[in-house]
Amino acid sequence: MHLAYLDAGSGSLIVQAVVGGVAGAAVAAKLYWRRLTARYRRQRTDRS
Amino acid sequence: MTIPHTDVRTDPGSFRDPANRVFYADGEVLRGLDARAARDWRALSASDFFPPLLAAGKVCGTEAVEPARFAAVAGAQWAAVLRHERIPFVSHPYEWSFGMLRDAALLHLEILRAALTAGFTTKDGSAYNLQWRGVEPVFIDVGSFEPARDGEPWAGYRQFCQTMLYPLLLTAHLGVDFQPWLRAQVDGIPPEQMRRLFTGVRRLLPGVPTHVHLHSAMQQRNADAASGEVREQLRGAGFSRELALAAVRRIERLVRRLRPRHVRSHWADYQRTCSYSAADRAAKERFVELALTAAGPPRLVLDLGANDGRYARLAARYAGYVVAVEQDPAVVDELYAALRADEQRRVLPLVLDLADPSPGGGWRGVERAAFATRGRADLVLALAVVHHLAIGRNVPLAQVVDQLADACLPGGRLVVEFVHPEDPMARRLLANKPAGLFPDYRPDEFARLLAARCRVERRVELPGGTRTLYQAVVGG
């Protein structure tokens, strides 16, 4: 994975999606949705 | 063959990106690149977008030089070495006016947009990526360009917010001068500080909901998430180059709309309300003009206390470059706008308080050089400024003379105006201080102190009888 010399800041990266307008906000929403479902899936595998 | 260099100095402000380093060798400005940065440079110079920016002067003049000449310079082995044009006088964002910071920000965004369109990006987004050629902003950080990876947001966005957008929002929305905030924090203003300034209805001001509040909240929520992981998540969620471009365009639109809300100090009206007669002014202009032509064209003129820039413009007719220093950000902003309108390319206006000039900043106090260390002038204009320092700020008269003389190169000229204590402007300042506080503030004492430091060449009393002008050679 390539990382720049400058720590771009995780939150700062996500905000840029929202700054990009409606399509960008959809990307941010998808990112959060995926995080949520990933957590749910993890919980289910933990239980089973 | 490696030629030994006698005078090599690494720029103390260029260490942050280890892939390249700026250094000075024998009067040249050079940039060493490691193998990867050298690859990026080759791609950059072969790109469609970079050569036009270079030709338009938007990026500082840059050419590759034979690396073997500098192979072992500045304690490292470089894969490639670039030579840059010399910026006439280095300045820092906390010395710029609102309009200057805004135009610098717009140039940075324009360059980023051109880069993104061509498949490149900039690694950072700092206000320190920019310098000035007169009133033209110039992008100097050529080492910042690299090929963009698809689906990745701009790594420099946070830095851009902290060093450019937030300072602009402070002045545009709150009427607060941004200069002290930038001077105190080399990395700019963090989102969580900004958030506390924009509460209540101020949350809704243009740019504030997303760039300040959402930004701050996102940073807190994602404090434990590694930025590499977040990049992958964004790419997976469909972040694209078009989105990165859309974000840049929106920031550009926001920045372009911002206007300063300055609190005008009374010095903004100084030129209109001051006590000069037309005869005084004409005599003063003649005196200054003669001083400017006394010994060939001066390379650098420092106009200390430039106000509306009348004498800085006069100096620009004869000098290579003029740095016009003024304390009031609103006055500097007006001067900047006027100089741009007149296409006056050789005057750099700067916000600076002579009784509190920019100190060294950043790492060990040397990353951003102090004003006094950034170069002395062939000619210093100190017109109607001595009384502000000596009476207004209580600086002992001898030390005022030392400060002005030290701003000149050895053998350089000092053109200084002494405003007598009975002059209306001096009386106005004296009225705020206890009587008898400045027994040394007299024309004869000033003349004695000046003669002790310099060789006085000319002296003229203005027709009004309350101001004396001197032309003196420092250390001559």
Cβ–Cβ under 8 Å, residues B264 and B341: no
The band of B76, judged by pLDDT with boundaries at 50, 70 and 90, is low
Residue of B14, B141, B160, B239 to mutate, testing the A interface (most A Cβ within 10 Å of its Cβ): B239
Give the per-residue pLDDT at B73.
64
Domain boundary among B229, B257, B285: B257
CB contact under 8 A, B215 and A15: yes
Q: What is the distance between the alpha carbons of residues B430 and B426, in angstroms, rounded to a whole number?
A: 6
Cβ–Cβ under 8 Å, residues B122 and B144: yes
Q: What is the distance between the alpha carbons of residues B22 and B452, in angstroms, rounded to a whole number?
A: 41
A9, A21, A27 member nearest B250 (Cβ): A21
B62 phi, psi to nearest 5 deg: -145, 135
CA atoms within 13 A on the CB side of B293: 7
**What is the predicted ipTM?**
0.88
CB contact under 8 A, A8 and B157: yes
Domain boundary among B235, B257, B279: B257
Q: Is the pLDDT of residue B156 over 90?
A: yes
Tokens 């190169």: give the residue.
B409
pTM for the model? 0.95
Give the per-residue pLDDT at A1.
47
Give the per-residue pLDDT at B332.
97
Same domain, B124 and B24: no
- Higher confidence at residue B354 or residue B66? B354
Write out chain A residues lying below 8 Å of B220, CB-based: 11
Residue B1 placed within a domain: no
Residue B344 placed within a domain: yes
B72 touching chain A per CB within 8 A: no
Q: Which residue of B has its CA nearest to A24?
A: B243
A4 phi, psi to nearest 5 deg: -80, 165
Same domain, B124 and B43: no
Same domain, B330 and B448: yes
Pairing of strands B145-147, B130-133: unpaired
B471 phi, psi to nearest 5 deg: -120, 125
Write out chain A residues lying below 8 Å of B233, CB-based: 31, 34-35
Name which of A30, A35, A18 is nearest B237 in CA terms. A30
CB contact under 8 A, B157 and A13: yes
A 22-41 residues inside an 8 A Cβ radius of B: 23-24, 26-28, 30-31, 34-35
Residue of B221, B222, B229, B251 to mutate, testing the A interface (most A Cβ within 10 Å of its Cβ): B222
Q: E strand or H helix at B309, and its extent?
A: none
**Polymer length of chain B:** 476
Q: What is the distance between the alpha carbons of residues B259 and B438, in angstroms, rounded to a whole number?
A: 42
Same domain, B133 and B185: yes
CB contact under 8 A, B244 and A20: yes
Residue B42 placed within a domain: yes
In whole angstroms, how far apart are CA B400 and each of B62, B444, B461?
Answer: 41, 15, 20
Structure token digits, residue B230: 């977040």
Residue B3 placed within a domain: no
Cβ–Cβ under 8 Å, residues A15 and B214: yes
Same domain, B138 and B52: no
Residue of A7, A14, A22, A31 to mutate, testing the B interface (most B Cβ within 10 Å of its Cβ): A14
Tell me the average pLDDT across B171-194.
97
Q: Which residue of A has its CA nearest to B158?
A: A12
CB contact under 8 A, B219 and A12: yes
Same domain, B321 and B217: no
B36 touching chain A per CB within 8 A: no
Same domain, B44 and B99: no
Domain boundary among B234, B257, B280: B257
Write out chain B residues lying below 8 Å of A1, CB-based: 228, 231-232
Same domain, B240 and B280: no
Q: What is the distance between the alpha carbons of residues B411 and B399, in angstroms, rounded to a whole number?
A: 19
Residue of B16, B145, B157 to mutate, testing the A interface (most A Cβ within 10 Å of its Cβ): B157
Cβ burial, residue B201 (10 Å; 0-12/13-18/19+): exposed
Cβ–Cβ under 8 Å, residues B462 and B286: no
CB contact under 8 A, B158 and A8: yes
Range of the domain at B171: 93-257
Write out chain B residues lying below 8 Å of A9, CB-based: 158, 219, 227
Domain extents in chain A? 17-47
A-to-B residue pairs, Cβ atoms closer than 8 angstroms: 122
Structure token digits, residue B278: 């037309």
Cβ–Cβ under 8 Å, residues B49 and B117: yes
Q: Is the pLDDT of residue A31 over 90?
A: yes
Distance from CA of B59 to the nearest CA of A (A): 21
Q: What is the distance between the alpha carbons of residues A18 and B3, in angstroms, rounded to a whole number?
A: 53
Same domain, B77 and B176: no
Please give the mean pLDDT across all residues of chain B. Answer: 93
The one-letter amino acid code at A32 reads Y
Distance from CA of A36 to the nearest CA of B (A): 12
Same domain, B180 and B158: yes
Q: What percent of chain B has pLDDT over 70?
A: 95
Q: Is the pLDDT of residue B418 over 70?
A: yes
B455 phi, psi to nearest 5 deg: -100, 110
* pLDDT tens readout for residues B449-474: 999 999 999 999 999 999 999 999 99
Q: E strand or H helix at B195, and its extent?
A: helix B191-197
Q: What is the distance between the alpha carbons of residues B303 and B317, in angstroms, rounded to a whole number?
A: 14
Domain count, chain B: 3
Least confident of B210-219, B238-247, B273-282, B437-446: B273-282
Same domain, B17 and B38: yes
Structure token digits, residue B59: 């990026």
